[in-house]
Structure 1
Amino acid sequence: MKLKFLIFSLLFHVIVFSQEKQFVSTDISINKFIEGTLLIPNDNPKPDLAIIIGDSGPTDRNGNQNFLKNYSLKKLAEALSKNGIATFRYDKRIVKQIRNNYLDKNIVFDDFVTDAISVIDYFKTSNTYNKIFVIGHGQGSLVGMLASREYIDGFISIAGAGQSIDNVIIEQIEKTAPMFTEDAKKVFMVLKNGQTTSNYPEALSSIFKEDIQTFMSNWMRYNPQEEIKKLSIPVLIINGTKDLQVSVEEATLLESAANQANLKIIDNMNHIMFIIDGDDLENSKSYNESFRSVSRELIETVVTFLN
């Protein structure tokens, strides 16, 4: 199956960018928590729909946060819609709360899954689309897995972790600040037991501050390798070799666990889907560089899979 996918991808390469298709943009309110933007190609009366779920933090529908403006999700959505695929991308619920000067401190990871399911249900009941797919980016990969067990025709993970969040963070600490590894493990053991703690090094406060410990505890309950096994739909897993946040090894873990999955590793693509020719400094700066384009190879791969 993987060989067929590769051959088809090469044949389709000529087609994907040969036609510039226009689209209509409409802002939609799904419910009191979720607002987003729907793009519908002009020349397709009943297109496929790709629902795009964003990464961790207060990520808006365009892929931006307060001081990081790269418009990566907007660029992904527009590129897909120019290729005949309807897209819907939405602000995470905390974005709306921040804009209204109110932040629910009781929010948990499962709330993001609930929001994704609400979006899927909204479009599924409209009966407007041929097929519905979910594209999860970063944290949105796991959210998308959990939300895609029903009514979905295919799932795409872009830069999604293959391990539970506690293991991912411990690995990062081992690489960047190994002296805090044992402290982190102790805190995660407390969180795993459903408790909170103030006993952690100040250097790890951005990870373990007490007002996000309940969220973290809920998030770490899920192992992406176990969750992806539960999907009985076609799966595409994509990662870049210059992803500073999620390594290629995470993608291979997901592929190994999935029932039916294609794996695509894109050379020099970073976490926000940009191609980086230089070093880590260029990579880091790109998170706030709106002039960049998302990887052309990424778009080709996704369009081929969706078609």
Structure 2
Amino acid sequence: MKQMKLLFSVFFSFVFLTCFGQLQPLTGQGVTLNTQSGDIHGKLLLPPGMKSFPVVLLIAGSGPTDMDGNSAVGQMTNNSLRYLAEDLAKQGIASLRFDKRGIASSASAGKREADLRFEDYVNDVKGWIDYLKKDSRFTGITVIGHSEGSLIGMLACRNNPKVKAFVSLAGAGRPAYEIIEKQLSSQPESVRNIVAAINDSLRQGKLVANVPFGMEALFRQSVQPYMISWYKYNPQQIIKELTIPSLIVQGKTDIQVLVEDAELLKKASPSAKLLLIEKMNHVLKDCDTTDPQKQMAVYTNPSLPVNAVLLSSLGTFIKEQK
């Protein structure tokens, strides 16, 4: 009887420890990238119970978007990038996500608007890639850029032997000036002509001194140097130059970036894989309509999960890279 009790006790302890290990909450480790203009802070999330694994570097999109995918504008809390990182960890894939310079925990690394350049973001990503490459636990680095982060990621991966694969996640397929002009296509012809003229000047590297009233928010003097640096890059040309496996992912109910953009990237890089996901919107969640009000309800609902097809497809693609 005593032997039976001892055996049961050992068995129970084993089961408890096994289940406890499976139920352990995923906790991120704070990490810091030191740059000349300040520290950029991120979070490293590791798969529990593993000694080596692939790692993903997640790049957030445009504006004041933090490492979790949340924007300070309109209090748009959706936790999309956080949920993506957590699911990858459950699939045995580590991740590093970070607050961009000037945002949230990396606010102190922000530059004056007039001094900021698109290349600053690219160099930060290159710094994170170097950081990850030094860790012997990681078997390979995949860069995933969301929205504007797609172009930033492409540029950081170009001619970079430290990266094994790249994923464009809801990334634009056209240069920024084309996107702006497309967004303003419903405006009167006089407005469209002014915007086109300003863009032409910025594309040539020339500042525009006198911006018409009503357009200062978009083309203010302090932001023009950044726009000049941004306008230089055509995503179609950059993805064409990548020599690593690439995956282009686009949701069919995304109202910010269109399926057309993904198709342009695919046309420029025929060897890249293209994944179009039904009912997935720009924040990577299910939404069966393009109605702006219903979309906004998804953008601001952190309880909704990230699209399941996206999660499984990313896991498969990342693990294929040996």
Segments of 5+ residues of structure 1 without an aligned counterpart are 1-18
- 1:114 is aligned, of 118, 123, 132, to 123
Equivalence map 1:64-103=2 (5 Å):
64-66=70-72, 67-96=75-104, 99-100=107-108, 103=111
Shift of 1:65: 2.0
Instruction: Give the alignment of 1:286-297 within 5 angstroms.
Output: 286-297=298-309
Partners of 2:25 and 2:56 in 1: how far apart?
16
Does residue 145 in structure 1 map to residue 133 in structure 2?
A: no
1:44-99 CA distance string (max 9 Å, x none): 21100000001011211111122221111111111111111001000000115884
Q: Percent identity?
A: 35
Aligned 8 A contact 2:58 2:96 in 1: yes
Select which of 179, 188, 201 maps to 1:168.
Answer: 179
Tell me if the contact between 1:50 and 1:87 (Cα under 8 Å) persists in the aligned partners. yes
Give the structure 2 partner of residue 262 of structure 1. 273
Aligned to 1:304: 316
Are the structure 2 counterparts of residues 241 and 52 from structure 1 closer, same or farther at C-alpha, using a change threshold of 3 Å? same
SS in 1 for 2:56: strand
Provide closer, same or farther for how the CA distance between residues 273 and 203 of structure 1 changes in structure 2, counting only shifts above 3 A.
Answer: farther
In structure 2, distance between residues paired with 1:178 and 1:185: 10
Q: Give the superposition deviation at 1:254.
A: 0.4
* Aligned-partner residue type, residue 42 of structure 1: P
Aligned partners of 2:194 and 2:280: how far apart in 1?
33
CA displacement at 1:180 relative to structure 2: 2.2
Secondary structure of 1:263's counterpart equals strand
**1:101 to partner: Cα distance:** 10
CA shift in 2, pair 1:221/1:20, >3 Å: farther
Letter of the structure 2 residue corresponding to residue 295 of structure 1: N
Retained in 2: the 8 A contact 1:159–1:240? yes
The code of the aligned residue for 2:120 comes to D
Instruction: Tell me the SS of whatever aligns to 1:302.
Output: helix
- TM (normalized to structure 1)? 0.88
User: Which letter maps to 2:163?
Assistant: I
Tell me which residue corresponds to 1:232: 243
Aligned partners of 2:279 and 2:214: how far apart in 1? 31
Q: Deviations over 1:149-184 (max 9, x none)?
A: 211110000110111100111111114666522111
The 3-state SS of whatever aligns with 2:139 is: coil
2: distance between equivalents of 1:48 and 1:21? Answer: 20
Q: How does 1:210-221 map to 2 (within 5 A)?
A: 210-221=221-232
Quick one: distance in 1 between partners of 2:148 and 2:211?
A: 24
Q: Distance in 1 between matches of 2:190 and 2:262?
A: 27
What's 2:29 paired with? 26
Higher Cα radius of gyration: 2
Deviation at 1:298, TM superposition (A): 0.8
Residue 41 (structure 1) aligns with: 47
Going from structure 1 to structure 2, the CA distance change for 1:175 and 1:85 (only over 3 Å counts) comes to farther
Unaligned residue ranges in structure 2 (runs of 5+):
1-21
d(CA) in 2 for partners of 1:194, 1:168: 18
Q: Is the 8 A contact 1:232 1:259 kept in 2?
A: no
Match of 1:55 in 2: 61
Amino acid at match of 1:63: G
Shift of residue 202 of structure 1?
3.6
Q: Call closer, same or farther: CA 1:238–1:187 in 2, change over 3 Å.
A: same
Task: Report if aligned partners of 1:155, 1:233 keep a CA contact under 8 Å in 2.
Answer: yes
